[in-house]
Structure 1
Amino acid sequence: MAALTCRAREIVSIEDIVDVIWPEDPPVTVRSQIQICVSAVRRALAEVGMRDALKTHHFGYSLMLDPGLRDVDEFARLVADARASCDSGDIAEAVQNYRSALALWRGPALSGLDSDIFQRKAVLLNEERLSVLEECFDLELLQGRERALLTEIETKVSENPLREKLRGQLMLALHRVGRRTDALQVYREGREHMVRELGLEPCEELSRLEKEILNDAPNLVPGTSITAAKQVVPRQLPQQPPCLTGRDEQIRQVGAALTGTASAGRQGTHAVNLFGQGGVGKTALALHVAYQLMQEHFPDGQIYYDLHGSRPDPVSPARVLDHFLRVLGVPPPSIPEGVEERAAMFRSCVAGRRMLLVLDDAADEDQIQPLLPGERNCAVIVTSRTPQTGLASLQKVRLDVLTCRDAVELLQRIVGDGRVGAEPAAATSLVRSVEGLPLAVSIIGARLATMPSRTVSAMAQRVHDERRSLDELVHGSQSVRDSIASAFHALPQRLRDLLSLLSLFDMDAIPAWMAGVVLGVGPCEALDLMDQGAACQLLLPVGAEPTNDPHYRFHNLTRLFLRETADRFTAEYRQEVVRRVVGAWLSLVEQARGRLYGGNFTLVRGESPRWEPPAALVRHVLADPLHWMDVERSGLLAAVGHAAAQGLDEPCWELAVNLVALFEARFYRDDWRETHETALDVVMRMGNVRGEAALRCSLGSLYISQQRIDRARPQLEKALPIFEGLREGVGTALTVRNLALCLHSEGAFDEALEGYGRAAELFLASADPVGQAHTWCTMAQIHASSGDDATARQLLTDALRICEEVGNQRVRSQVLFHLGALDVQQGRPQQAMCRFFTALPIVREQADRVGEGHVQRGLGSAQLAQGNLAEAERCFQSALALAKATGNDHAMALARLSLAEVYLRQDRRQRAVALLEQALPVFRQYGDEGAQRRTLSLLPSRP
């Protein structure tokens, strides 16, 4: 019963109960005997109306006593009330509560229980009783009650001769009643006892008190502030957080900074600034370290104060200093009015004392500076959302969200049972959905702990639902929504508007220029606003590539909160903001594509409004267009989705079609299909026929590249009459060319040539020379395959001239590749190598891995034609690696076919056959009859 009562409201394992009752050699019938005892306890509890208080668990028991039933709980409550009264300056109330708490004691703790476990607990309880008694004596001495206290203090000193605090209080009381000689004798007796028993001299404070008594120091007179400051030992730390994981390195850094081991060269107080976003666990870590260090390093007291820095009305330094001085025992009438005077008195009060201050949720340097002690024997932990860079004396320690592993461990420790371990995938998904934010994980864990029937997967399902995520992340006084709201509502209105509107966009990285588009301000003001958002930790920096334009992101839970605040704007205004942002992305992508294509060629244009981007941003985009699009890929894809969600059909389809320049070069076929299907759905709903035709034509190109002619042709046949009806020349030309490509893939070469010819004429009529050059390039392939090398060379030469005139490097590299292939075919490998070496830097500069793979294969064929087998193998291996990197099955098969030819010449037939057998089914899948014939001709005949 004692074991269960000591750990009321906790599960006590059977092993712990055995250790209490039978410390050594428990009987073999131990479990049955415990069950008998438990039954007896249950009967006894039932007699007093507490039948259900004793709970059975699969590995132990718990005694669910209401708070206050145990005298130790009542003692703790009264002590907490006393300390709170002391903090508020009500000394009389504090003394009354202290005395009420001490009156609960009827003798030594756990008297009559001999178990080592109980004795260890008793030592802690008795120590707490003495500490509380000392705190009570401090306040009563402050009240001038030294005569009434003398006998009680003398008794306690005789019972605890090594207790220096009590001895000092006795010395002070004796001195105040005029017994100065006795006071000094008490010191000498204490010193002799300590030297004899411990080999130690008295502590610095006791020695100082002796000197002050010898000198009859005026500060020992009752009621003076200095006396009070030296006597009262505040212990204000809130309850220690029960669980802390994944913070070992930060704990080490903070501890080193506070104890001086990491403060070489720093002047003034040992101080550390823990900073990070709301809910990241700054307060928990600060308190954890404070509790670790308080007894050994800061025995003279610990003061905690919540500065409310993340709220609209942070606490003034004057008010904080008033609290500090009252806590340190300064009588209210003695507290000066001015901040500087209060700060000076505070520094005097803590001079020579080893104290720790925890200043929680600080606003800025102006709030913190007056609160810092002047001497290095004190230490300060400041928590804040932003680093307090203006205070060089503060060592900065950043706190970030937990890793997935640490977050799962925290969840496991809070929940306590086996549910987290039983569903590891659900637990991982759950903590990832809140991005490892410790506050959110703690709330989830607390809720699961109070709902033993709820599974982790069920909780994950509720939290994953963005419509209710923040509603789920509430437990008692803890709320993720409130944590974010406190920071948000403290911001200026303009910044609040910006963050709310930016939350409309689901992007992994939000470039700073978007702020300018959202609010209609210049790039400098936009960057300033984004930096302000990052300073308050509502935006998180994620880098500046590729445009030197800083990028930011929202924590997922912050984004959900901000999206709630965006509801204050009308639906029309939110749609207009999305329209402007999508228009900005479209403008930048169009310029990037134009640089790649030498202009807006082979492109159907709509009527979407464009944005005029800053010149510096354009220069960065144009310096490496493909790289820019690749890095901004997630934002560009998101922009297509946002436009579709808002019913912005025109910018949606235009952006999707412009992005094909990226999709084609990087082989992002899934992106190509998904963006186009998304855009097609919205243009169909809105009746946008031009957009429908443009998207269908582009989807046709995608399916042709995949040799899925059965899917390409229906799209193109739907697009063609729309374009013809709109008299859209470029769109008609593109569709006719794509239909010709379908015929080409099916081996209908004459019909394909006829289609290509018509497409070339349409491109010429539409002043689109790049489309014309690309069409001639594909026509040349048919002529080359049929043996008409002269016509093929002429068409490729004309196409090359056009590309060089307009500056279209992409199509130029393709033309050079086909000219090189023609040279190899005609027995001119040296000339072919010149073509390929000219094309190689073009594709590499554009990071076009698909194109580079083709060029490497071309170089290999030229080397093979010259008998350079080792060089040919190297080129073909490079081509194969590039094809694998882009996931291009057809290119992989072509590279394997070429490698097989090298291996056959090297008489490495086994490896060659393996490659050919890998390539053949791919050629069949793509309908590449020429490659099939070549592969079959190289494979050995089979019976």
Structure 2
Amino acid sequence: MSDGHHREAVRELTALIKRFPLDERPVEQLMRTYQRLGQRREALDAFHRLQARLALDSGRAPSARLRRLHDEIQDDEIPVLDQLPADVAHFVGRTELLERLDAPTGATVITGQAGVGKTALAVHWANRFRSAFPGGQLYLNLHGYDNGEPLSAADALKLSLHALGVPPAMVPDAVQARATLFRSLLARRRVLVVLDNAARADQVLPLLVAPHENAVVITSRDPLGSLPDVSHIHLGLLEVHESQLLLKHLLGASRVDAEPEAADELAWACGHLPLALRVVAGELAATPDRLIADAVAELARSTADRTAAALDLAYDRLPAGARTLLRCIGCAPIADVTVEAASALLGAPASRPLATLSDTHFVTLHQPGRYRVHDLVHVFAAARSAAEDSRADQDAALARWLDHQTAAVDAAGTALSPTFKRLPRPRAADAPAFPDGKSASAWLADEHQNLMGAVTWAGGNGFDAACAHLVDALRGCFWLTQDLTDWIRAGETGLAAAERDGDPRLRAAMHRNLGLATYALGRIDESTDHHDRALALFEQLDDRPGITSTLISLCLGDKGANLAAARRLERAIAIAVEDGNVTTQIIALGNLGITQLRLGTPQLIIDTARRCMELCSPAEPRQWASGLQILGWAHLDLGGLERAQDHLHEALEIHSACGNRTDGLHCLTTLGLVLLRAGDTDRAVALFRLALEETEQLGARRRVANALGGLAEAQVFTNPAEALDLAEQALRLYRDLSDIGNLVGTLVVLTDVHLALADPDAAAGCAEEAVVLTEKYEVGRHTGRALHARAAVALARQDHEQARTAVSRALDRHRSTGQRLHEVDDLMLLAEVLRLTGDGRAADEHEAAASRLCAEAAGSHAPGVLRAAWVRTRGRLQPW
């Protein structure tokens, strides 16, 4: 079918799935249709939506046939690396060396002097043998001989893992761990890795892959003798006949044949060095009436070495605009350059000057729209700039470039995360426009090295304000990518720059930036400190958007100060209402709902969520879905399981349609808790396992912890050994994230696990830590549960008086917060205490009260809720 027919099929199949949501056949057809359209992500999303529907409906998994199709598409989705630069035009000679490369095993190092053609040889050979490596071709320029810092092994591995589809949040911190992951991803693929411009062995050693099916080609000016098990190829100068052949390709055979002696002398004057020959020939090609002998005569008058003389000759004959642009490129810390960035450097349209530099081989088009400068040419251009340009001219060019980069990041950030507050700054006239988030993400990925280089360079060379503005622009982008290592690095550079600059607005923005970065890392104390500093500075400036953007942070709530967090959020809402800022109102109300949930006030949450949703427009489906999620949490706490399920189902569908997997998976975990409370343990386990698998792939640590905790709770009495392992993993994550509320909830689950394993001492330790945390921090949602855990331990130890006291306190707490299903648990446990102390009549009354409360709160789910409460109560006592 044509693409048009395929898209019509997508519409029809989508409508069919809405009518028959549990039927696998239209889902399989939809997945195959998306696969033919090349929309693998959409195909996988269709599978995941069915997987969730089946798990919710019956706890079953998709058929083996559909899972095989999923695996096939997922394998296809792992990016097939195609990173080789374009093949070198007019490549000549090197026949023997190409033959030596034809069947490399392990790693091959190509060495030779600058400009001799090492990269050209590696890239030409790699393009010839592209089909021999169906797993893909990875290319990395390690910048070993540039003016700036070489690419470290850690950063090279990070870029490689990103290229292989690993989310930034999943990239390990340690170099060795990155190397292990890199090798494991390539273990089943036949891949070619080209590592260009390596200066040291330690740059490449972690990137060496298993030699059996893979090949690694390294270029370097140095032999890198400490690398193990590598072959070495030394690349010398071109032979005389090879230089002649290259000139004929570049200038035309008739022109070279008309001046054979001059052509020989030109090759000699250029030292038979390919780079020098290409640059001089490029200049001659641009002036077809000029004699080759004239170029030879000019070279003969130069006192510089042959390469420098060749570059000087070609440079001097460039048009003025191309010369200026080359000098601008020379003083900029860039890995490559686009037409837009070149225009910013030049201060004028750069398409024609850049094309001239490409035609004369000063720059090379290595990706569509992106030009690379040979390191030798970069050094030459920097020297020319130092000799010809004033410091003021250099600074002006670099300032324009930094402004352009900041404007471009602002535009990308608007496309990706329009709600993120950024400092006001004039919009650059040449700022690019990104039609959608996908194009913005692609630009950010391509420009990543340049952006990080710009931050570092600006912060180290007196462009402090520009540095801070660029870091501020990057904040929303970093939040989405979760590239935490670079975020912290950029944030600290930006803060130091802002401190030197002295502008309080910049300092406030940098503290706000680091507040969010450290929050993402789970360094909550640091995050709180940065947010407090930002708030104080924004208040001094009476910067109301800055004030509200800082007040809406959740870091105070994470560390247990939820009353203070609620006050800040209510203040943010009041300011936003006064200013008519609807977006901030929506975000603040959503965060207030989360804070109220932590405080244990579900009735307030419902009002907050409805206020939030009333402000949402149809164009903001994600915000609407967030409101539905908050309502789902509230009704779960209140015991309204049907309402909770309806709200969470709707939120899940919206998140799935928006491609918002992280929040969608959080919905899935919460739905698992709804099923668990309803006594449908098998379906709950299926949802938790699905959520865990997906969140681990995304690297969303908080969501991984949520799924681990849910799965542990679901298996406390059926598989306590696995539950122990899962809960301890969740506990470690919550400690790392300083998430006090969920830490308490996990300690409660661990209490039950240890009771099920007949270890009352360990259970007591967990229960008491949970109680202490609820007394120290404002996490009212979990106060009653912690007291209930203490009571369960006391009952297991036959300390009936302490059990009665603790569970009575838990019951009072749950009645005050309206957490009716936990109230049912308390009544059932209290009934057990009363029965064991000989008051059977009171025990029966409490069980009857639990039954009535279940019917009142949970409706049709009441029998399951009551049965689950009974299982929990009896399960704790079973070992005794």
> What is the TM-score normalised by the length of structure 2?
0.50
Task: Name the one with the larger helix percent.
Answer: 2
SS at structure 1 position matched to 2:371: strand
1:832 equivalent in structure 2: 647
User: Could you tell me which of 695, 712, 717 is aligned with 1:900?
Assistant: 712
1:920 equivalent in structure 2: 731
**Distance in 1 of aligned mates of 2:237 and 2:730:** 59
**Contact residue 666 and residue 849 of structure 1 kept, 8 A:** no
**Contact residue 745 and residue 928 of structure 1 kept, 8 A:** yes
After superposition, the C-alpha distances for 1:646-694 in whole angstroms (9 at most, x for unaligned) are 4333333232122221111121222322222212212211211110011
1:592 equivalent in structure 2: 412
2:561 equivalent in structure 1: 748
After superposition, the C-alpha distances for 1:36-86 in whole angstroms (9 at most, x for unaligned) are xxxxxxxxxxxxxxxxxxxxxxxxxxxxxxxxxxxxxxxxxxxxxxxxxxx
Residues 246 and 537 of structure 1, relative CA distance in 2, 3 Å threshold: farther
1:672 equivalent in structure 2: 487
SS at structure 2 position matched to 1:541: strand
2:381 equivalent in structure 1: 562
2:472 equivalent in structure 1: 657
| Aligned-pair CA distance for 1:635 | 3.1
**Distance in 1 of aligned mates of 2:627 and 2:738:** 23
Structure 1: state its 5+ residue gaps.
Answer: 1-238, 256-275, 292-302, 328-358, 371-475, 545-549
| Aligned-pair CA distance for 1:729 | 0.8
After superposition, the C-alpha distances for 1:491-533 in whole angstroms (9 at most, x for unaligned) are 33322221221233333442221122223444xxx34443443
Q: Please say if 1:936 is aligned against 2:737.
A: no
SS at structure 1 position matched to 2:423: coil
After superposition, the C-alpha distances for 1:523-550 in whole angstroms (9 at most, x for unaligned) are xxx3444344334443233434xxxxx1
After superposition, the C-alpha distances for 1:260-295 in whole angstroms (9 at most, x for unaligned) are xxxxxxxxxxxxxxxx9999999968649x79xxxx
Q: 1:216-235 maps to which residues of 2 (within 5 A)?
A: none
**Distance in 1 of aligned mates of 2:650 and 2:429:** 39
| Aligned-pair CA distance for 1:783 | 2.3
| 1:648 counterpart letter in structure 2 | F
Q: Please say if 1:610 is aligned against 2:392.
A: no
Deviates more, 1:558-567 or 1:864-873: 864-873
Q: Please say if 1:733 is aligned against 2:548.
A: yes
1:492 equivalent in structure 2: 319
User: Could you tell me which of 760, 764, 767 is aligned with 2:577?
Assistant: 764
| 2:713 counterpart letter in structure 1 | E
**Contact residue 596 and residue 810 of structure 1 kept, 8 A:** no
**Contact residue 632 and residue 645 of structure 2 kept, 8 A:** no
| 1:929 counterpart letter in structure 2 | I
| 2:727 counterpart letter in structure 1 | L
User: Could you tell me which of 572, 577, 592 is aligned with 2:392?
Assistant: 572
**Distance in 2 of aligned mates of 1:251 and 1:696:** 48
After superposition, the C-alpha distances for 1:546-585 in whole angstroms (9 at most, x for unaligned) are xxxx122233343233222222222222222222222222
**Contact residue 665 and residue 850 of structure 1 kept, 8 A:** no
| 2:641 counterpart letter in structure 1 | G
2:532 equivalent in structure 1: 717
| Aligned-pair CA distance for 1:325 | 13
**Distance in 2 of aligned mates of 1:852 and 1:486:** 62
| Aligned-pair CA distance for 1:831 | 1.0
2:607 equivalent in structure 1: 794
> What is the TM-score normalised by the length of structure 1?
0.47
2:281 equivalent in structure 1: 363
SS at structure 1 position matched to 2:362: coil
After superposition, the C-alpha distances for 1:339-367 in whole angstroms (9 at most, x for unaligned) are xxxxxxxxxxxxxxxxxxxx976837997
**Distance in 2 of aligned mates of 1:247 and 1:670:** 37
| 1:574 counterpart letter in structure 2 | Q
**Contact residue 830 and residue 862 of structure 1 kept, 8 A:** yes
SS at structure 1 position matched to 2:365: strand
| 1:538 counterpart letter in structure 2 | F
SS at structure 2 position matched to 1:363: helix
**Contact residue 823 and residue 831 of structure 1 kept, 8 A:** no
SS at structure 1 position matched to 2:318: coil
| 2:372 counterpart letter in structure 1 | R
| 1:582 counterpart letter in structure 2 | L
CA-atom RMSD in angstroms: 4.8
Q: Please say if 1:514 is aligned against 2:371.
A: no
| 1:896 counterpart letter in structure 2 | L
Q: 1:20-169 maps to which residues of 2 (within 5 A)?
A: none
SS at structure 2 position matched to 1:659: helix
Residues 528 and 563 of structure 1, relative CA distance in 2, 3 Å threshold: same
Residues 721 and 251 of structure 1, relative CA distance in 2, 3 Å threshold: closer
**Distance in 2 of aligned mates of 1:769 and 1:709:** 28
SS at structure 2 position matched to 1:940: helix
**Contact residue 505 and residue 638 of structure 1 kept, 8 A:** no
**Distance in 2 of aligned mates of 1:784 and 1:570:** 61
**Distance in 1 of aligned mates of 2:680 and 2:354:** 58
SS at structure 1 position matched to 2:525: helix
Deviates more, 1:625-634 or 1:752-761: 625-634
Structure 2: state its 5+ residue gaps.
Answer: 1-92, 104-119, 126-195, 198-218, 222-232, 265-275, 289-302, 762-880
**Contact residue 776 and residue 795 of structure 1 kept, 8 A:** yes
**Distance in 2 of aligned mates of 1:485 and 1:570:** 20
**Contact residue 641 and residue 678 of structure 2 kept, 8 A:** no
Residues 577 and 897 of structure 1, relative CA distance in 2, 3 Å threshold: same
1:338 equivalent in structure 2: none
User: Which structure would you say has the larger RCO, counting Cα contacts within 8 Å and 6 or more residues apart?
Assistant: 2
**Distance in 1 of aligned mates of 2:594 and 2:358:** 55
| 2:374 counterpart letter in structure 1 | H
| Aligned-pair CA distance for 1:835 | 3.0
**Contact residue 743 and residue 751 of structure 1 kept, 8 A:** yes
User: Could you tell me which of 629, 635, 640 is aligned with 2:450?
Assistant: 635
- Give the aligned length: 516
Q: Which has the larger radius of gyration?
A: 1
SS at structure 2 position matched to 1:632: helix
**Distance in 2 of aligned mates of 1:252 and 1:539:** 18
**Distance in 2 of aligned mates of 1:862 and 1:488:** 72
| Aligned-pair CA distance for 1:838 | 3.4
| Aligned-pair CA distance for 1:323 | 4.4
**Contact residue 923 and residue 932 of structure 1 kept, 8 A:** yes
| Aligned-pair CA distance for 1:634 | 2.9
After superposition, the C-alpha distances for 1:242-266 in whole angstroms (9 at most, x for unaligned) are 98885559999999xxxxxxxxxxx
Q: Please say if 1:540 is aligned against 2:357.
A: no
| 1:682 counterpart letter in structure 2 | A
**Distance in 1 of aligned mates of 2:382 and 2:579:** 46
Residues 564 and 323 of structure 1, relative CA distance in 2, 3 Å threshold: closer
Q: Please say if 1:706 is aligned against 2:530.
A: no
Residues 791 and 911 of structure 1, relative CA distance in 2, 3 Å threshold: same
Residues 533 and 931 of structure 1, relative CA distance in 2, 3 Å threshold: same
**Distance in 2 of aligned mates of 1:360 and 1:636:** 33
| 2:738 counterpart letter in structure 1 | G
| 1:890 counterpart letter in structure 2 | R
SS at structure 2 position matched to 1:506: coil
2:354 equivalent in structure 1: 530
Residues 317 and 800 of structure 1, relative CA distance in 2, 3 Å threshold: same
Residues 570 and 856 of structure 1, relative CA distance in 2, 3 Å threshold: farther
